[in-house]
C-alpha cells in the first residue's frame, strides 16, 4: 500500500487542520494569495454573514452621512494556524450592507453554526468591524480600515492556539482585476517530468518515473494589483485553500521564478511562463517523497532532479 504524503500545491482539499485549533502547523509563506470569490451568503446563513450591517453612530440602523465610499469587493489576506496568506472576501453594497462572501472561513470560525457575525460600519471613519464568538478563534474581532482601494486591519482572537493580534491587508475592488492576456486566473494542475531522476532510498513499488505522476499539485492563480499569487487548493469541490503558498518573482508580464513546497513536494527553484490556459517552464531543483506502508513497516524514499519540465493546465475558475 502506497501512501503518498501529498499536502497539496498555493493555492483546496478539505484543509488539513483547517477546522482544528492549531497554530504550530507547518508554514510555507509566499508572496501572497489566490482564490475565486464565492457566492455571497445572505443573512439566513448561520456563520458567513450578518446581512445588512448597522452603521455606527446611527440609532436607526441607516447609514450615516457619507464620509467615504465603502462599496466594492474586498480581497484580503490574514495569518492563522502558523501560516500566512489565507483569504477573506467581503462584498459591500449600499454603503452599509456587508456580506462575507468567501475565503478560509474555518480558520476564523466564521463557518461555524450559530448566530451570524455582527458587522458594524462607520462610513465617516471608513471602518468595518466584524465580531463573533467562535470555537475556533474564541472571541473574534476583525477590524478594517478602508483608504480608497486599499484595506488594512487586524484580526483579534482569544483562543490559546492562535496569536491574539495579527495584521490583515488587501484591496477593495470597484472593477474587475486586470490581467495580462497571457494569464487566465483560476485552478491549475501542475506536473513535473524528468528524463533523469536520482533515487534516495529503496522503492519496492515502482521507479521515480512511475511515481512522478502521483505528485501533481493543484493551485489557484490570482493577482492582487501587480502581485501574482499561487496558492495550494483541494482537488475536489469546493476547492478550498490549502496551507502552501508559492513565492513568486515576476519577470515581465507572463513569466516568473517560483519556489513552492508542500508536504511531499519541494520545488526549490523553477521558472514558469503563462500561455493563456496553460503553463510551461523548467525546474532546476525539485524533489518529491513517497512513503510505502506495508507489512514490513513504513519505507520512505525520495526522488530528485535538477532538470524537470513543468507543464500546467487550467481546470476552471
Q: 274 and 191 share a domain?
A: yes
pLDDT of residue 73: 98
Please identify which residue in the block is written with the cell numbers 488539513: 16
**Domain assignment of residue 26, yes or no:** no
Cell of 299: 519505507
Q: How many CA atoms lie less than 13 Å away from 5 in the CB half-sphere?
A: 16
**Domain assignment of residue 252, yes or no:** yes
> Tens of pLDDT along 203-257?
988 899 999 989 999 999 999 999 999 999 999 999 999 999 999 999 999 999 9
pLDDT of residue 206: 86
CB 140 within 8 A of CB 122: no
Containing 210, the helix (H) or strand (E) segment is: helix 208-212
Say how far apart CA 74 and CA 317 lie, in whole Å: 18
**Domain assignment of residue 29, yes or no:** no
User: Percent of the chain, pLDDT > 70?
Assistant: 78
> Tens of pLDDT along 137-191?
999 999 999 999 999 999 999 998 779 999 999 999 999 999 999 999 999 999 9
Cβ contacts of 104 within 8 Å, gap of 6 or more? 15, 18, 80, 86, 87, 88, 240, 241
* Closest by Cα among 259, 227, 189, 247 to 75: 227
Q: 162 and 272 share a domain?
A: no
pLDDT of residue 294: 65
pLDDT of residue 116: 94
Question: What's this model's pTM, rounded to 2 decimal places?
Answer: 0.79
Quote the number of domains for the chain. 2
When the pLDDT of each residue in the chain is averaged and rounded to a whole number, the result is 83
Q: 59 and 136 share a domain?
A: yes
Tell me which of 173, 204, 233 is where a domain ends: 173
**Domain assignment of residue 261, yes or no:** yes
Say how far apart CA 214 and CA 212 lie, in whole Å: 5
Q: How many CB atoms lie within 10 A of CB 47?
A: 21
Q: How confident is the model at residue 298 (pLDDT cuts 50, 70, 90)?
A: confident
Tell me which of 117, 146, 173 is where a domain ends: 173
Q: How confident is the model at residue 292 (pLDDT cuts 50, 70, 90)?
A: confident
Say how far apart CA 198 and CA 159 lie, in whole Å: 45
**Domain assignment of residue 280, yes or no:** yes
What is the domain range of residue 137?
Answer: 54-173
* Closest by Cα among 71, 110, 312, 101 to 191: 312
Domain at 158, CATH number: 2.40.128
Question: If you average pLDDT over residues 255-264, what whole number do you get?
Answer: 96
Say how far apart CA 259 and CA 248 lie, in whole Å: 7
Q: 88 and 159 share a domain?
A: yes
100: left (phi over 0), alpha (psi -120 to 50) or beta: beta
> Tens of pLDDT along 11-48?
333 333 334 444 433 333 344 333 333 333 233 333 44
Amino acid at each position: 500500500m502506497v501512501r503518498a504524503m501529498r499536502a497539496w500545491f498555493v493555492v483546496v482539499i478539505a484543509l488539513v487542520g483547517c477546522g482544528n485549533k492549531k497554530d504550530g502547523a507547518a508554514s510555507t509563506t509566499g508572496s501572497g494569495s489566490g482564490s475565486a470569490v464565492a457566492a455571497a451568503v445572505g443573512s439566513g446563513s448561520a456563520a458567513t454573514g450578518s446581512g445588512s450591517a448597522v452603521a455606527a453612530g446611527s440609532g436607526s440602523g441607516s447609514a450615516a452621512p457619507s464620509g467615504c465610499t465603502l462599496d466594492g469587493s474586498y480581497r484580503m489576506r490574514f495569518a492563522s494556524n502558523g501560516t500566512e496568506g489565507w483569504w477573506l472576501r467581503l462584498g459591500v453594497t449600499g454603503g452599509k450592507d456587508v456580506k462575507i462572501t468567501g475565503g478560509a472561513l474555518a480558520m476564523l470560525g466564521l463557518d461555524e453554526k450559530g448566530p451570524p457575525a455582527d458587522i458594524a460600519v462607520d462610513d465617516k471613519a471608513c471602518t468595518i468591524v466584524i465580531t463573533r464568538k467562535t470555537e475556533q478563534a474564541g472571541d473574534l474581532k476583525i477590524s478594517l480600515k478602508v483608504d480608497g482601494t486599499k484595506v488594512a486591519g487586524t484580526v483579534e482572537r482569544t483562543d490559546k492556539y492562535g496569536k491574539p493580534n495579527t495584521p490583515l491587508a488587501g484591496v477593495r475592488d470597484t472593477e474587475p482585476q486586470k490581467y495580462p492576456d497571457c494569464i487566465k486566473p483560476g485552478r491549475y494542475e501542475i506536473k513535473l517530468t524528468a528524463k533523469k531522476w536520482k533515487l534516495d532510498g529503496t522503492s519496492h513499488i515502482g521507479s521515480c518515473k512511475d511515481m512522478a505522476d502521483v505528485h501533481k499539485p493543484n493551485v489557484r492563480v490570482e493577482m492582487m494589483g501587480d502581485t501574482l499569487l499561487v496558492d495550494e487548493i483541494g482537488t475536489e469541490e469546493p476547492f478550498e485553500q490549502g496551507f502552501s503558498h508559492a513565492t513568486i518573482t515576476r519577470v515581465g508580464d507572463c513569466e516568473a521564478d517560483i519556489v513552492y513546497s508542500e508536504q511531499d513536494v519541494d520545488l526549490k527553484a523553477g521558472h514558469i511562463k503563462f500561455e493563456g490556459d496553460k503553463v510551461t517552464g523548467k525546474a532546476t531543483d525539485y524533489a518529491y517523497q513517497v512513503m510505502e506502508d506495508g507489512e514490513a513497516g513504513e519505507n520512505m524514499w525520495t526522488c530528485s532532479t535538477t532538470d524537470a519540465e513543468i507543464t500546467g493546465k487550467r481546470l476552471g475558475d
